[in-house]
Structure 1
Amino acid sequence: MEQVECIVIGAGVVGIAVARQLAEQGREVLLLDGESSFGTQTSSRNSEVIHAGIYYPENSLKAYHCVRGRDALYQYCKDRGVPFRQCGKLIVATSEVQRPVLEQLIAHAKAVGVHDLALLSAADVHDLEPAANAIAGILSPSTGIIDSHSFMLTMIGEFESLGGTVAYQTPVLSGHAADGLITLNTGGPDAFSIAAKTVVICCGLGATHLAATIRGLPAHLVPTLYYAKGNYFTYQGKVPFSHLIYPVPEPGGLGIHLTLDLANQARFGPDVEWMEEPDFEVNASRQTAFHEAICHYWPDAEKDRLTPSFAGIRPKITAPGDPAGDFVISGPADHGVQGLYNLFGIESPGLTSSLSLANTIATMASRRTAGQS
């Protein structure tokens, strides 16, 4: 049976970053994905926002990796010429009951390492964005936007130049761990079995299902996956904003917010629509609810200019109504399977966190190679 040193499963933004980081260590790395190209699911169905790290619980992996990943991502884009814009965002309160939330967000952000937020008066908001309706706001200058496709394409190119190999249309169906190796069985047009000393499962929506098929991995350490769909609507025509505009956060997400792409095309979303099975069809019937939410902070928004754009699925590992979950990085010290690293619940801010997550996995794998625990 063929054997390689490392296999990374999932060619989304995190999987590509992990594979590239492992290859930079001089390792032999095979990157597998069941789709025909990279980043076709969660990685290409999001707001493409570089998050500052404002919202995530103190001492959480999301907070840790977002702040560090943000800085690494900006530097990576500058060094490689990946298109991005550090445009900043406004979080706006539209009623007095929301004003204390802004103050709480600033205090919380400082606790997790975000120190550049500014509390704004209504006049301050109006000076920055005259079309926005707000009684107060927060300016987050370190929030930005990125061309996520270019980012992934650049990392793929670097990975391959380092000797890495990518195999698309190669879904991993099952595996088993024995004698210091993990053997994987693949499907697709050229199905095969292959063994590796190090396997990283970071395939987003498929991570929990795949992990459950690995014989030797305790089943109780594989979390249940919940699908939280986010619909997006594009706004036809220009919008009078240069910053991203966010409402105060809501349970399950950050509220229906305005983001811009690098061509200044505006889109709104995502909302939160819990589902039993993944469905990437935009729910056009939510147009009215979108318009009502948008009008709180942009009263002049025209409903008929909102057109269905795309939908993404958050791979959540907390049930509807439960507190927001954290990233899970599960290694040999957690589950006892040598060489196996699982990444579960990698939703937002996964794109922002990708380089930091990759560094963590590569460090963990290096310790194993060096014989450390």
Structure 2
Amino acid sequence: MEVLVVGAGVVGLATARALALRGHEVVVAEAAEAIGTGVSARNSEVIHGGMYYPAGSLRAKHCVDGARRLYALCESHGIAHRACGKLIVATTEAEAETIAAIRDRGVANGVEGLDLLDAAQARRLEPNLACTAALLSPRTGIVDSHGLMLALQGDLEDRGGAIALHTPVTGLGRRDGRWAAAFGGASPGDYPCDAVVNAASLDAQALAAQTEGYPAERVPRRVLARGNYFGFTGKPAFSRLIYPAPVEGGLGTHLTLDLAGRMRFGPDVEWIEAVDYRVDPARGDAFYAAIRRYWPGLPDGALVPDYAGIRPKLTGPGEPSADFVIDGPAEHGLPGLVHLFGIESPGLTASLSLAEAVADRLGA
């Protein structure tokens, strides 16, 4: 089977790799000049545990399974990573109840090693931390996301797959029982194939709307949430990731580490109308207030604007978070077509598991 995957982010690359490993001919079309320049390059690079998401949801299933697959891939392929652990912290009684509920949800989802700590136990792990209670997730970690994507690309190409850069796909139609993908770029044309996976992330809805025969009512609205990150200029004060209790639209302004140990904070949640990656330095004022709830020792002037990512959400302010959407032939009735919508956090963690699910939907 000849398969076209649209989008060379981590989910698109993982899906292409899974299909190639199953013996299919795979081409990945990417509009940008390189792999992984969008959502996949602008996140916290966290390997999530899977305790936040409702039991039975796609986010829960694929995060837990994906984390196990991701750690195994990192070990087998020499991808830089570290299971540094994470503390989700409470600073009020209400937040303590929230993190206890997160623990229960995680246990229901099959997350291993979760442990509720009191304030003294948490401070023994992280002396600079201020909290009333904390939830320890020892298997949460960090990964070199670009190294991961290079490894996925390598496996794909080793199995005969290819990546076409500077190749925006502008529409999908049916021709003689197959799909024909219209593409632009320097030499525009059509690409015939047996199956298509739309893993275009921020542009997934636009491509779905240009898919011949795909019902317009199945295209969900796209809601953009910018997450801003600020870097810390001093020496690291923590050895684990520190997350506050979740907030509307995200997981709160948390502390993450890169593989060199550098601390950074974010993302916040900024609802926007158009794709724009600029970080407003003025948002740093709110970061100081949020961070000092769990780290009162944050020095003045220690935060600098770093980067921003944009989450392809399906719901907006005041609405419950939507689950991942994997819309395949069994749902919409068109053969050989899968549209992926709303693949935001924990999309990187879930990528290898999502890839297998997509391949299964195609009957591959």
TM > 0.5:
yes
In structure 1, the residue matched to 2:161 is 164
- Map 1:237-316 → 2, pairs under 5 A: 237-316=234-313
Runs ≥4 residues deviating over 6 A: none
Question: Is 2:190 aligned against 1:198?
Answer: no
Between the aligned partners of 2:358 and 2:104, the Cα distance in structure 1 is: 30
User: Structure 1: which 5+ residue stretches go unaligned?
Assistant: none
Identify the residue that residue 144 of structure 1 maps to in structure 2.
Answer: 141
Q: How many equivalent pairs are there? A: 364
Alignment-mate amino acid for residue 52 of structure 1:
G
Match of 1:71 among 54, 63, 68: 68
Q: For residues 19 and 112 of structure 2, what CA distance do their matches in structure 1 show?
A: 32
1:108-187 matches, within 5 Å, as: 108-187=105-184
**Unaligned regions of 5+ residues in structure 2, if any?**
none
What SS does the corresponding residue of 1:210 show, helix, strand or coil? helix
Per-residue deviation, residues 122-156 of structure 1 (Å, max 9, x unmatched): 11011000000011111000100000000000110
Report the Cα distance in structure 1 between the residues aligned to 2:252 and 2:278, rounded to whole angstroms: 20
Query: Secondary structure of the residue that 2:194 maps to in structure 1?
Result: strand
Cα RMSD for the two superposed structures:
1.0
SS of 1:58's partner is coil
CA shift, 1:110, in A, is: 1.1
Distance 1:343 1:27 in 2: 20
What is the DSSP-based 3-state SS (H/G/I as helix, E as strand, rest coil) of the residue aligned with 2:293?
helix
Q: Deviation per CA, 1:52-93, whole angstroms, max 9, x where unpaired?
A: 001011111000000000000000001111000000000111
**CA distance in structure 1 between the partners assigned to 2:156 and 2:311 by the alignment:** 26
Matched, 1:32 2:29: yes
Q: CA deviation at 1:190?
A: 1.8
Q: 2:347 aligns to what?
A: 350
1:214 alignment partner, SS class: coil
Alpha-carbon offset, residue 245 of structure 1? 0.3
Moved more, 285-294 or 299-308: 299-308
Q: Secondary structure at the match of 1:217?
A: coil
State how far apart, in whole Å, the 2-side matches of 1:83 and 1:297 are: 29
Structure 1 stretch displaced more, 92-101 or 51-60: 92-101
Structure-2-length-normalised TM-score: 0.98
CA contact (8 A) 2:182 2:189 kept: yes
Amino acid of the structure 2 residue aligned with 1:201:
N
Q: Which residue of 2 aligns with 1:10?
A: 7
**Mapped contact 2:112–2:139 kept (Cα < 8 A):** no
8 Å contact 1:180–1:338 — kept in the other structure?
no
Which residue in the other structure is 1:222 paired with?
219
* Residue identity in the other structure for 1:78: E
Deviations 1:218-247 (A, max 9, x none): 111111100000000000121210000000
Look up the equivalent residue of 1:187 and give its one-letter code: G
Once the two structures are aligned, what percentage of the paired residues are identical? 50
CA drift at 1:178 = 4.2
Measure, in 2, the Cα distance between the counterparts of 1:271 and 1:234. Answer: 13
In structure 1, how many angstroms separate the alpha carbons of the residues matched to 2:176 and 2:109? 41
CA contact (8 A) 2:329 2:361 kept: no
Matches within 5 A, 1:308-347: 308-347=305-344
Code of the residue aligned with 1:313 in structure 2: it is: I
Q: Does the aligned pair in 2 maintain the 1:177–1:214 contact within 8 Å?
A: no
The residue identity in structure 2 corresponding to 1:106 is: R
> In the TM superposition, what is the alpha-carbon distance from 1:106 to its structure 2 partner?
1.1
| Alignment pair present for 1:211 and 2:208 | yes
3-state SS of 1:142 partner: coil
In the aligned structure 1, how far is the partner of 2:328 from the partner of 2:174? Answer: 14
User: Which one-letter code corresponds to 1:318 in the other structure?
Assistant: T
Deviation of residue 179 (structure 1)? 3.8
